[in-house]
Amino acid sequence: MDVRILNGTRPRGCVALPPSKSEAIRAALLLALSGADPRRAVKGFEPPICRDIENALRTAEDLREGLVGESAALERFLIPIQAALFGRVSLCAQARLLARGLREAEECFGVSLSPAADGRIEAVLGLEKSVYELDCSRSSQFLSGLLIALPLLDRSCEIIVKNGLVSRPYVDMTLDFVRLFGGIIEETGRGFITRPSVYTEPERVPVTGDRSYAAAFEAMNALCGDITLTGSSPFTRQPDKRFLMISALDDCDITDCPDLLPVLAVTACGKAGDTVIRGTARLSTKESDRESGTVKLIRDLGGSANVGADCVMIHGTGSLAGGTCDTYGDHRMAYAAAVASLIARSPVTVRGAECTEKSGPAFWRDLASLGVVCFEV
């Protein structure tokens, strides 16, 4: 689906945030592990629910099935959970996700997790060890999976974190949820120690509005909008809540909030002068090659940007020409293109706009409700 967005709109109105993907996926799995209804994770949120969360809810209802779709977090959480519960891994993922690989998990567990031709990963894998070493220099998602799974075992285990730890706020989020459900975890100088625990359903499951989704509308406000967002919480661990603070900087680091790159870069195009966004090299293995894709999107819309050493540099002029850009199947690119339309001198056509179903199925409807004229072409 291609969508054309008329340029120069000043969006105004109110947007109700969908549930946070990162919080809802953790909550759904822990609810299932405590014997409760996983759908309680999204109670109180209006439909539609995004594709990644729906996959998590279906998977939580049958943890053996392992239908993870294109959710990297769900895939990486489920590997150690299945190993702890069943002594084997059985997953089915989309080709785009499988292409990103599972190197960290294979190194940690000493087993091949290569997919078969039908996209299913099958492996005999039990968690017999008491010490697990994990490379967390590219992703913290396997670590979060271990932190959820290891308390299910009948013995204490140690996780040794190697080569640094990226996306630390997401690990803190996992620790909060695991402890809320009764998991016992201690932090050490080199990682974590888990203790045998019994997960129990808490009285309250604190899933809040998605701050990654909110960032697109906060970017619009930073440029020219007047949008009120409902459903967020200042107490969330989501690192993307820092968007407004980061977007005001001319030199910033997104190591802990990698999802912000496309929207952050387009927002920088609305300022005069150069902006450097650091910590971007590992984004080449996201839903798209998000580092080079962001630069191409900006160039396709008449802006100036380039990839540096673990950074993206934007040469802002205050506006963009407009034109046609591709999402490369990446929902964050679609959000960035919509933000770009506000500072474009001609309409913006977004190829592959349906990719927003992954995290924000109401995005185009929300955009239209703010007075932004957008239509399928």
Q: Phi and psi for 131 in degrees, rounded to 5?
A: -130, 130
Q: What is the mean pLDDT of residues 341-348?
A: 97
- Average pLDDT of the chain is 94
How would residue 287 be classed by pLDDT, with cut points 50, 70 and 90? low
Q: What is the DSSP string of 273-288?
A: EEEEEES-GGGGGSSS
Per-residue pLDDT at 97 exceeds 70: yes
Q: Please give the pLDDT value at position 118.
A: 81
Which are the catalytic amino acids? 259
First to last CA, the chain: 8
Give me 164's structure tokens. 């640094």
Q: Please give the pLDDT value at position 354.
A: 96
Q: What is the mean pLDDT of residues 133-148?
A: 95
Distance CA 323, CA 344 (A): 9
Q: Please give the pLDDT value at position 218.
A: 98
What are the distances in angstroms from CA 300 to CA 152, 236, 277? 50, 35, 19
Q: Phi and psi for 166 in degrees, rounded to 5?
A: -85, 160
23-69: per-residue pLDDT in tens? Answer: 999 999 999 999 999 999 999 999 999 999 999 999 999 999 888 98
Classify 302 as helix, strand or coil: coil
Q: Are 276 and 252 in contact (CB under 8 A)?
A: yes
Q: Are 202 and 180 in contact (CB under 8 A)?
A: yes
Q: Please give the pLDDT value at position 82.
A: 97
Per-residue pLDDT at 222 exceeds 60: yes
Q: Please give the pLDDT value at position 285.
A: 61
The DSSP symbol for 357 reads G
Within 13 Å, how many C-alpha atoms sit on residue 283's CB side? 29
Q: Assess whether the previous peptide bond of 169 is cis (omega < 30° from 0).
A: no
How would residue 288 be classed by pLDDT, with cut points 50, 70 and 90? low
Per-residue pLDDT at 286 exceeds 70: no
Q: Which domains does the chain have, with CATH numbers?
A: 3-17+209-376 (3.65.10.10), 21-195 (3.65.10.10)
Q: Please give the pLDDT value at position 65.
A: 85
Q: Please give the pLDDT value at position 289.
A: 84
Q: What is the mean pLDDT of residues 114-129?
A: 89
Q: What is the mean pLDDT of residues 68-88?
A: 94
Using DSSP bridges, classify how beta strands 226-230 and 311-317 pair: parallel, antiparallel or unpaired: unpaired
AA identity, residue 47: P
Cα–Cα nearest to 133, from 153, 158, 155: 158
Which residue spans within the chain are E strands per DSSP? 3-5, 12-16, 67-69, 88-93, 120-124, 131-135, 157-162, 184-187, 191-195, 226-230, 251-253, 272-278, 305-308, 311-317, 323-326, 348-351, 374-376
